[in-house]
Amino acid sequence: MLDAGHALGSRTAMRRADLLEPCKRFWIEEPLHPEDIRGYGRLPQSMSQPLAAGEGASSVAQVERLIDEGGVDIVQMT
């Protein structure tokens, strides 16, 4: 697993995912700011690893947006 801790922009996350592809990670966790739903939506198009996010989600509506608009594969709601 790779926990990016909201530290990347979407372009950087895509490049890093590509560079780290040979490492066969289980998922990439929270590479973008939690509110960057549009950025999350672009990531699955350019990476083969599952995308995990949602630690900061506090409602079902936020989780639904991450899944529906953000393309998140693994929701980690706390």
Q: Where are the domains of the chain?
A: 2-75
pLDDT, one tens digit per residue, over 1-21 is 666 666 667 777 777 777 777
* 17 close to 50: Cβ distance less than 8 angstroms: no
pTM of the model as a whole: 0.75
CB 66 within 8 A of CB 57: yes
Spell out, as residue ranges, where the chain has pLDDT lower than 50: none
